[in-house]
Chains A and B, each alone.
Chain A
Amino acid sequence: MQNFKKKLLTTSLASAVALSGFSFLGTDSADAARPGFDPKKVGGKVILTSFSDAVRLIPYTTNDSASNRIQGMIFDALLSTNQNGDPIPSLATKYTFDKKSNTYTFDLRKGVKWHDGKPFTADDVVFSYNMFMNPKSINSYKNDFKAIKSVTKVNSHQVKIALKEVDALIVTNVFSAAAIIPEHQFPKGVDDYNKNTKIHRNPIGTGPFKFKEWKTDERVVVVANKSYWDGRPYMDEVITRILPDANVEAINLLKGDVDWVEALTPATIGQVAKDKDLKITKWDYGQFDYVGFNAEKAPFTDKNVRIALTHALDRQSIVDKIYLGKAYIASGPFHPKIPQNNTSVKALSFDPKKAEDMLDKAGWKLQNGVREKNGKKLEFDFYYNNGSKTREKIGLLTQQNWAKIGVKVNVRSLEWSIFLDRLDKGEMDTYALGWGGYDGNVEHSGFFHTDAIPTSTKSGNNATRISDPKIDKWLDDYRKETDRNKRIKLYQDMHKYMAENGTLIWTVHPMKNMGHDKDLKGIKTTLSSAMFNLQDWYWGTASKRK
C-alpha cells in the first residue's frame, strides 16, 4: 500500500536509476493477478481503526495520516515501492531517464480504468502533476515538485517529465509518491481541487480499493476493485472505524468489534496481550526521540554538559519502564534497521559518576545540592506537549535522574500550539520530542542543517539550532552523492560524530505495536507504514472469508 505521506522515503536505487536509465519490465494486462496470488484467500472484510477522521480524500490536499491512509487505498502513483523501498512499476510499466536532457520518460500501463469506468491516460498524469505544481492549489507538497520543469504528453500512454536540476531523490520522493488523479473529475480545475467537497468526499482512483461510503466521524468504507491491474485485493471490504481514544481502540479490539489497530499504547498493550484470540506484532518504525534544547544557549553550547546529561539519563529505564521494553536506546538519529546506522557507534552508558566528573571538570561545582558556575545555577525547565503520557513520564524520569547529579529540572507541560511556538523561537530550555516516518534512505538536512534553523521570517525544523559546518557538509554531500555506498558512508560518519559530540541528547527509537486478530494473515510492514501490503491481507479461517 502506498503511503503518499512519506517525504523522507527515498530509495536505494535512485542513484542507479539516475545514472543508467534503469527501467522495468512490467505486465501490461489489466486483469492480471500479481505473482503469488492465491484465489482461495479471497473474501471477507477487515475492520481497521483510525484515531481521527479523514479530512479529504483527494491526494496531497491533506497531510494527516488518516486521510493519507485512505487515499493510499484508492489511488496509485506512477511508480510504487517494494518492502525495501525500491521503486517498482505501478501506473507506469517502464521508465527511462535521459541524462543529457535531464528528462524522464514514462510508459503508462494500458487498459487501466478509473473506478468509474473511464480509461486512464497520459492526460490524467499531466493534469495531476500540473495540479500539484499549480501555485494556486492548496497542498503541502508543492515543494517536492520544484525540480520539475515540465510534464508533457507524448501520446495517450507516454509522458515526459523534464527537470530543471539534477534530483537523484525524485524517483521515490515524487514519482512513487504523487498519486494520479482523474482529470475528468475536475471540470473546474484548481477550484474543484481546492474546494469541491463533493469530489473530495467521493474520490475516484485507479487503486486496489474503490471508495464506497464515508460517514463523518464514524467510518470510511472501501471495497475491492475487482478489475485492479495488479489483481484484486483479497479482502472484499475494508472498513476504517474512527475511534478517537486509545483505550476505546483497545476495548473494541478486545471485544472483537475491530480486527486491527495500528499502534497500541503502552497503557493498553498489557490487556491485549492477555487475550488469546489477539496477537501483538511489534514492528520497527523509523523514528528517533530526543531531549532537545537550544544549542545556541549556555550551558548547551558546552559539549561536556550535553554528554554528561546523556550519561546521567537512565535510558534503559525509559525502554523498560515507559516503553515496556519495546524500543531501542538511541545513539543518533538513525534507526538501527537502516544502513545509515553506524553499527560501531555504541550508545553512551548510564554512568552518573562519570557525568558528575565531567560536570566538575567543566566548571559546574556542586553548591547545596545544585551545581553552579560563575554564580549561575545549573537549573532549567523541561517541557513536553500536554496529553503525551509518555513524554510526561520521560520528563519526570529526567528530572529524577538529573537531580542526582545536581541538576535541577522543572517539568512543565504546554498546549501543542504554545509548545510549537516556543520551539520555533528556541525559548525552551529542554524538551522531549521525536521525528518519525523515515526509512532506508533518510534525508536529515531538514533537521540538522544550518539553513533549516527557523527565523522570524522563515520556518524550519532545525529548532535545536544546530549549526555545525561539519554536519552541514555531510548533509550537503549526501544529497549530491550518487554512489549509494558512498552516500551511506557519509551518514555513518555523521552518526559517529553526532554520537561523540552529543549533538542532541538521544533517547530511544520506539517500536510500534500493532494489535490484531490472530487469524488476520499476510501483514507486512515497512519502516514507514504498517499497511504496506493491505491488498495481500487475508483471513486464515474460511468462515471469515464469506
Chain B
Amino acid sequence: MRLLTKYIFRRTLQAIPLLFIISIISFLLMTLAPGDPTAMYQNPEAGNEQDFTAIKEQLGVDQPIYIQYYKWLKLLVLEGNLGYSFQDGQPVMDKIVSRIPATLTLMGTAMFIAILLAIPIGVYSAVKKYSPIDYIFTFNSFLGIAVPSFFIALVVILVFSLKLEWFPASGLRSNFDTFDLKDRLHHLVLPSLTLAFGLVASMSRFMRSSMLEVIKQDFVRTARAKGLTERVVIYKHALRNALIPIITILALQLPALFGGTLFIEQLFAWPGMGRLSVSAIFIRDYQVIMGTTMIAAVMVVASNLIADILYALVDPRIQLGKN
C-alpha cells in the first residue's frame, strides 16, 4: 500500500510540468489559429468604422501572446482562478461547474451501461465463438461503429419519442420546480442508451478478442482440468486476465466523463460540457477554451494513472512503475 501511495504521489508530481507544457502548447495553438475573439462583438450590420480598441483592451487581447499567457497562468496559480469568459464575463470555473452535473450524469450512465453490457457480450461471444449469437453481436457492434452517431440519435428520437411516445425527445428535465428523479431518469434514457450503443460496440469487440486469447492459455486449461465449472473458470480466472484492453479503452473514454460529447448533447438538447467547449471554440472565447482544455488534460493524465494502477491490480505480474 505504501508503494501505491508513493507511486501516485510521484505521478502527480510529474503531472505538474506536463500540464504546464500542455497549457503552453494549447495557448499557442489557440492564439495562432485563425479567428478573433472580438469577432463576437463585431456587429455585421454596423457598417465600417467600428472601433474595437476598447473591447480589445478590456478583454486583454491587445497584449502580446506571452503576456496574455502569463496573466492567465498567474491567476490560475496564485488564485486557483480559471479567468473570466470573454463572452459573458462569468467566471470560467462557474460556467464549467454548472455543466458538470448534467455531463457526469449522462456520460457516467452511458459508460456504466456500456461496461455492464460490453463485458458479458464480449465474454459470451468469445466462449460461443462463431455461434449465431456471436454473429448477431458482431453485426450489431459494427452497426454501432460504422453508422454515424447523429444518424442513430435521430432515428432513436423519431422512433421512441415521436412515434411511440415512450420518452421525451430532448432536454434534461420537464419539471423545473423541484428535483423530480422520475422525470430526470425518463429524460436520461434515450441519450444515454444512444451513447452507450457506440461504446458497447467497440468495447465488446475488445472484450471478445482478449477473452479469446485468455481462454486458450495454460492456466485456464489447468483450471478446467482441475474440474472447475465453466462459469467459475470463465468469470473467476479468465475474465480478470482479459480486462487489460478494456481498462485501456475505458481510460481513453474517461476524459469524456467531464468533457461530454457534442453530437449527443446537441441532438438531445442536453446542457453539457460538449456544447460549452465547442461554442467557446467557435467564438474564440480563449478563457473558456483554456479552462475546458485544462480540465480535459487533468482527466487524461488522471485516467491514465488510474489505468496503470488497474493494470497492476488485475494482473499482479505487472509492477507499478518498475521495469
A8–B88 CA distance with the chains assembled, in angstroms: 25
Q: CB-nearest residue of chain A relative to B278?
A: A244
The reply to whether the CB of B205 lies closer than 8 angstroms to some CB of chain A is: no
B61 to chain A, nearest CB (A): 12
Residues facing A in B244-287 (CB within 8 A) are: 265-269, 271-272, 275-276, 279, 282, 284
Of B43, B48, B271, B282, which is within 8 A of A452 by CB?
B48
A52-B279, A55-B87 known; A459-B48 Cβ under 8 A = yes
B152 to chain A, nearest CB (A): 13
**Residues in B neighbouring A449, C-beta threshold 8 A:** 48
Most buried by A among B170, B172, B267: B170
The reply to whether the CB of A496 lies closer than 8 angstroms to some CB of chain B is: no
Determine whether the beta carbon of A215 is less than 8 Å from that of B176. yes
**Residues in A neighbouring B282, C-beta threshold 8 A:** 416
Q: CB-nearest residue of chain B relative to A257?
A: B169
A215-B176, A217-B99, A452-B47 known; A248-B169 Cβ under 8 A = yes
Determine whether the beta carbon of A141 is less than 8 Å from that of B157. no
Count CB-based A-B contacts (< 8 Å): 150
Determine whether the beta carbon of A197 is less than 8 Å from that of B88. yes
Q: CB-nearest residue of chain B relative to A436?
A: B45
Of A248, A421, A461, which is within 8 A of B34 by CB?
A421
Q: Interface readout for A301-319 with B: 1 if CB under 8 Å, 0 if not?
A: 0000000000000000000
Determine whether the beta carbon of B46 is less than 8 Å from that of A195. no
Of B39, B47, B267, which is within 8 A of A248 by CB?
B267
Number of A positions contacting B (CB below 8 A): 62
Residues facing A in B180-215 (CB within 8 A) are: none
Determine whether the beta carbon of A255 is less than 8 Å from that of B161. yes
**Residues in B neighbouring A56, C-beta threshold 8 A:** 88-89
The reply to whether the CB of A527 lies closer than 8 angstroms to some CB of chain B is: no
B122 to chain A, nearest CB (A): 33
Determine whether the beta carbon of B43 is less than 8 Å from that of A140. yes
Determine whether the beta carbon of A242 is less than 8 Å from that of B269. yes
Determine whether the beta carbon of A216 is less than 8 Å from that of B89. no
The stretch that binds A, out of B1-9, B13-21, B50-58, B105-113, is: B50-58
Determine whether the beta carbon of B275 is less than 8 Å from that of A140. no
The reply to whether the CB of A420 lies closer than 8 angstroms to some CB of chain B is: yes
**Residues in B neighbouring A251, C-beta threshold 8 A:** 157-158, 161-162, 169-170
A227 to chain B, nearest CB (A): 25
Determine whether the beta carbon of B41 is less than 8 Å from that of A218. no
The reply to whether the CB of B44 lies closer than 8 angstroms to some CB of chain A is: yes
Most buried by A among B48, B95, B99, B265: B48
The reply to whether the CB of B291 lies closer than 8 angstroms to some CB of chain A is: no
Q: Interface readout for B14-48 with A: 1 if CB under 8 Å, 0 if not?
A: 00000000000000000001111001111111111
The reply to whether the CB of B143 lies closer than 8 angstroms to some CB of chain A is: no
Determine whether the beta carbon of B158 is less than 8 Å from that of A138. no
Q: Interface readout for A219-252 with B: 1 if CB under 8 Å, 0 if not?
A: 1000000000000000000000111110110011
**Residues in A neighbouring B319, C-beta threshold 8 A:** none
Most buried by B among A62, A244, A417, A452: A244
A136-B58, A251-B169 known; A143-B51 Cβ under 8 A = yes
20 contacts between A and B (CB under 8 A): A62-B88, A63-B41, A63-B43, A135-B54, A136-B58, A138-B55, A142-B50, A143-B50, A217-B275, A218-B173, A243-B269, A245-B267, A248-B157, A255-B161, A255-B165, A446-B45, A451-B48, A458-B48, A458-B49, A461-B48
9 closest A-B pairs (Cβ-Cβ)? A217-B271, A417-B35, A446-B47, A7-B45, A460-B48, A452-B48, A140-B43, A195-B89, A197-B90
Residues on A facing B (Cβ under 8 Å) = 5-8, 52, 55-56, 62-64, 135-144, 194-197, 200, 213, 215-219, 241-245, 247-248, 251-252, 254-255, 257, 415-418, 420-421, 435, 437-438, 445-446, 449, 451-452, 458-462
